[in-house]
């Protein structure tokens, strides 16, 4: 709800309130919901907490905008022009953004000497505590202006006593929660890789005794988050948006530039913050036919075969997958061109007839005849130098004339900023989907960007023009195949961000499939993203990334924290392992609705990390607890469950034992994880976690 009274604008969500003073461009309040109907003037008088910067006007903080203005200088000074409340959401041309029923506040400011306008939009949805914010510059002057930075959101937070939480990592170590005390000065986190990156996800939080502020960006390219601790001013400036690294955008008279949408949310604690972000992502980011549909249990051949397969091998995996109860078989990398290794053929999206036994359609039909859906892997934005595409169209590749390009995984990237390249990708990838009849597509992206160059494109515009081209392509393809389930992937979770989730209802969380590693990766991811978007696979042991051996049951338990898949060669498993997998899949299907669409909370105890997923009506829950480390003479580990109805009674089953307890006791008592540390497997394998699953069912209403 948005209410305007004079210059004061109040935005209420179910649990939070944001108050803006439009004429002075200040935030007066953001936090817990305020019920009083006062005029908020009691909040005025502190050092101004701005929603836009005034560099050269004694605002010496990091600016939301760096502009080489029409008068040739860097100075601007925006004067309030108008505030409008619209029933429809502002459009952000060419970029993905949130959607749904709600209201949008548009604030317009004008730099009077030059007539350059800055618009800031705040969208609030009826059912969400997150607020979407975006910014736009319109060049109302008669001369070209140059944007060196336009952040999507500026939020000056009250106080300087924040702990900053970021989600950092690398390939196979995505989104590890990292906590820092904010010190005087600037702390920033960013990506310069042309992708949101494995290294620093755009989702960040700032916490103090007041609660948790969280921010994210609906964008998949270079991003930057800045926290500036201003002790004398008693405030902390936060900025998020496109990274200004190598950014320099020319705007001719009357042209506009739209920054991607940012999202902000406040909650009193981390659990409720995650619940609010999960609800926002599930309702207002993820879209299409698969939004609320239960996701199929898949078998993927990547770790089972890598590039070394033929029709017979694939069919034998698919047959075993079907016997185990899988619903979808995904043919990963290696089915096209002469792709027997990662050195060639990207861009040649035609069937390798030998490896597919006569072509994709033939293979896909045989798999469908077994009663499985068929899924296919593609990496549309890439090109191998050893490919027919490169030989015929070398200038489709992103590389700088006269320089040797940087190769990663032996591959170059396509110049997606070029319309001819975009059309080529749309045509060839659409053809792969159409001719195979694929019901699922895994869209991979296996390198960071270097050698940014496109003929006729200003270097300072390249990164963002690439993203606009990428979004144009992915949106056209997704629109053409509305029934296909698209899963995003970027060497694992290197582009798991809100921009991509607008197209891909699920994302491959990480290439690290080790259960121990996955506990932390999924835990970190869960702060800002719901489990429905996290692809989670059971793979073979010893694990291919770490060499650890975890019991099949532990690998399954951990994978139940996301959308379940298997990524191994089932023909190499024993009968007893296969029958264990059949049991797992049958169990997963029985509890799938809860596991995929219930409310998920993180669980912690001493050396214990896990999760509980609770059905919306709080009648059923599945909890997984993992003891990450065992020390001699440690006390019996304990855990407290979350999300249950405190006044209901529940039957709790684990390890063949069933007990009845109240929801309150299960949440506020310390439940001993008796015997968990005694596992024999732990003695044999140091990389092993000790994992247990609890099924919790309501037996009596509260």
Which residues form the interface with ligand DGJ (CB under 6 A)? Answer: 302, 332-333, 377, 444, 446, 489, 491-492, 508, 511
Instruction: Tell me the closest approach of the beta carbon of residue 376 to ligand DGJ, in angstroms.
Output: 11
Work out how close the CB of 382 gets to ligand DGJ at its nearest, in angstroms, rounded to a whole number. 10
CB of 529 to ligand DGJ, least distance (A): 17
Q: Cα–Cα distance between 300 and 288 in angstroms, integer?
A: 23
Closer Cβ to ligand DGJ, 138 or 330, answer by number = 330
Q: Which is nearer to ligand DGJ, 302 or 424 (CB)?
A: 302
Is the Cβ of residue 114 or residue 201 nearer to ligand DGJ in the bound state? 201
Torsion sign (Cα): 614, 618, 622, 623: positive
- Which bin fits 359, alpha (ψ -120 to 50), beta or left (φ > 0)? left
Please tell me the distance from the alpha carbon of residue 573 to that of residue 578, in angstroms, as a whole number.
6
Tell me 685's DSSP state: -
Q: From CA 246, how far away is CA 459, in angstroms rounded?
A: 8
DSSP string, 26-73: EEEEEEEPP-----SGGGTTSSP-BSS--TTTT--S--SEEEE-TTSS
Instruction: CB nearer to ligand DGJ: give 335 or 601.
Output: 335
Kind and range of the H or E run holding 559: helix 552-559
Nearer to ligand DGJ, 266 or 508 (CB): 508
In the bound complex, what is the minimum distance in angstroms from residue 508's beta carbon to ligand DGJ?
A: 5
Closest contact distance (angstroms) between CB of 535 and ligand DGJ is 9
What region, left, alpha or beta, does residue 286 occupy, with left being phi > 0 and alpha being psi -120 to 50 degrees? Answer: beta
Q: Is the link from the previous residue into 542 a cis peptide, with omega within 30 of 0?
A: yes
The phi, psi pair for 368, rounded to 5°, reads: -65, -35
Which one of the listed residues 190, 332, 444, 599 is annotated catalytic?
A: 444
Task: Point out the catalytic residue in the list 129, 190, 351, 511.
Answer: 511
* Closest distance to ligand DGJ from the beta carbon of 490 (Å): 7
Concatenated DSSP letters of 598-633: SEEEEEEETTEEEEEEE-TTSSEEEEEEEE----TT
**Residue number, 231 or 409, with CB nearest to ligand DGJ:** 409
Residue nearest to ligand DGJ (CB): 333
CA distance 309 to 213: 49
Residue 511 bears catalytic tag? yes
Which of 275, 489 has the CB closer to ligand DGJ?
A: 489
HEC per residue, 216-259: EECCCCCEEEEEEEECCCCEEEEEEEECCCCCCEEECCCCEEEC
Helix runs in 58-204, H state only: none
Closest distance of CB 501 from ligand DGJ, Å: 17
Distances from the Cα of 640 to the Cα of 522, 526, 647, 693, angstroms:
19, 18, 16, 14
Q: What's the full length of the chain, in residues? A: 702
Q: Rounded to whole angstroms, how far apart are CA atoms 386 and 346?
A: 8
Question: What is the nearest approach in angstroms of ligand DGJ to the Cβ of residue 310?
Answer: 18
Give whole-number Cα distances, 632 to 195, 314, 628, 670, 678, in Å. Answer: 44, 46, 14, 21, 11
Closer residue to ligand DGJ in complex, CB, 507/588: 507
Q: Which residues are catalytic?
A: 444, 511
């Amino acid at each position: 709800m948005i209410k305007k009274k004079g210059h004061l604008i109040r935005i209420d969500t179910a649990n939070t309130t944001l108050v803006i003073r439009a004429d002075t461009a200040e935030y007066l309040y953001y936090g817990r919901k305020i019920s009083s109907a006062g005029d908020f003037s009691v909040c005025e008088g502190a050092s101004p907490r701005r929603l836009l910067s005034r560099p050269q006007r004694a605002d010496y903080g990091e600016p939301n905008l760096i502009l080489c203005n029409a008068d040739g200088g860097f100075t601007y000074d925006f004067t309030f022009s108008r505030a409008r409340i619209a029933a429809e959401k502002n459009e952000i041309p060419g970029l993905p953004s949130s959607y749904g029923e709600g209201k949008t506040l548009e604030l317009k400011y004008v730099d009077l000497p030059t007539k350059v306008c800055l618009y800031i939009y705040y969208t609030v949805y009826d059912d969400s505590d997150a607020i979407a914010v975006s910014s736009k510059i319109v060049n109302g002057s008669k001369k070209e202006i140059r944007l060196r930075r336009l952040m999507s959101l500026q939020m000056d937070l009250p106080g300087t006593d924040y702990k900053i939480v970021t989600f950092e990592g690398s390939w196979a170590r995505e989104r590890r929660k990292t906590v820092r005390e904010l010190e005087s000065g600037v702390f920033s986190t960013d990506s310069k890789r042309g992708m949101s990156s494995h290294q620093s996800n755009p989702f960040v939080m700032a916490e103090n005794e007041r609660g948790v502020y969280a921010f994210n960006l609906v964008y998949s390219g270079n991003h930057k988050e800045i926290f500036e601790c201003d002790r004398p001013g008693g405030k902390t400036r936060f900025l998020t948006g496109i990274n200004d690294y190598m950014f320099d955008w020319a705007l001719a008279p009357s042209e506009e530039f739209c920054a991607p949408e940012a999202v902000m949310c406040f909650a009193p604690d981390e659990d409720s913050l995650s619940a609010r972000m999960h609800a926002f992502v599930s309702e207002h980011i993820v879209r299409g036919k698969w939004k609320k549909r239960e996701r199929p249990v898949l078998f993927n051949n990547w770790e089972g075969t890598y590039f070394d397969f033929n029709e017979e091998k694939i069919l034998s995996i698919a047959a075993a997958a079907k016997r185990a109860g899988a619903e979808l078989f995904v043919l990963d990398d290696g089915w096209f061109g002469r792709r027997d290794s990662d050195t060639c053929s990207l861009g040649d999206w035609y069937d390798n007839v030998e490896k597919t036994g006569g072509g994709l359609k033939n293979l896909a039909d045989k798999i469908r005849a077994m009663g499985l859906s068929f899924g296919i892997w593609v990496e549309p934005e890439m090109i191998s130098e050893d490919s027919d595409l490169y030989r015929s169209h070398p200038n489709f590749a992103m590389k700088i004339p006269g320089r040797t390009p940087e190769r990663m995984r032996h591959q170059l990237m396509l110049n997606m900023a070029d319309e001819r390249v975009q059309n080529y990708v749309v045509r060839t990838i659409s053809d792969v989907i159409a001719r195979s009849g694929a019901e699922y597509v895994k869209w991979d992206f296996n390198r960071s960007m270097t050698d940014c160059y496109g003929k006729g494109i200003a270097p300072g515009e390249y990164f963002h023009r690439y993203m606009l081209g990428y979004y144009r392509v992915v949106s056209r393809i997704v629109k053409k195949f509305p029934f296909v389930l698209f899963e995003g992937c970027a060497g694992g979770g290197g582009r798991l961000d809100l921009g991509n989730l607008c197209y891909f209802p699920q994302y491959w969380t990480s290439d690290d499939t080790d259960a121990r590693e996955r506990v932390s990766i999924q835990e970190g991811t869960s702060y800002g993203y719901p489990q429905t978007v996290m692809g989670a696979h059971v793979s073979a042991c010893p694990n291919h990334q770490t060499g650890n051996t975890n019991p099949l049951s532990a690998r399954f338990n951990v994978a139940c924290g996301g959308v379940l898949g298997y990524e191994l060669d089932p023909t190499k498993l024993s009968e007893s392992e296969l029958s264990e997998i059949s049991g797992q899949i049958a169990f997963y299907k029985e509890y799938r609705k809860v596991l995929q669409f219930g409310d998920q909370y993180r669980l912690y105890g001493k050396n214990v990390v896990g999760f509980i997923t609770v059905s919306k009506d709080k009648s059923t829950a599945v909890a997984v607890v993992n003891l990450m480390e065992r020390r001699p003479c440690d006390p019996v580990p304990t855990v407290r469950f979350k999300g249950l109805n405190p006044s209901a009674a529940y039957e709790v089953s684990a390890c063949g034992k069933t007990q009845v307890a109240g929801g309150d006791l299960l949440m506020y008592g310390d439940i001993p994880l008796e015997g968990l540390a005694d596992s024999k497997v732990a003695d044999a394998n140091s990389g092993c976690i000790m994992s247990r699953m609890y099924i919790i069912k309501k037996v009596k209403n509260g």
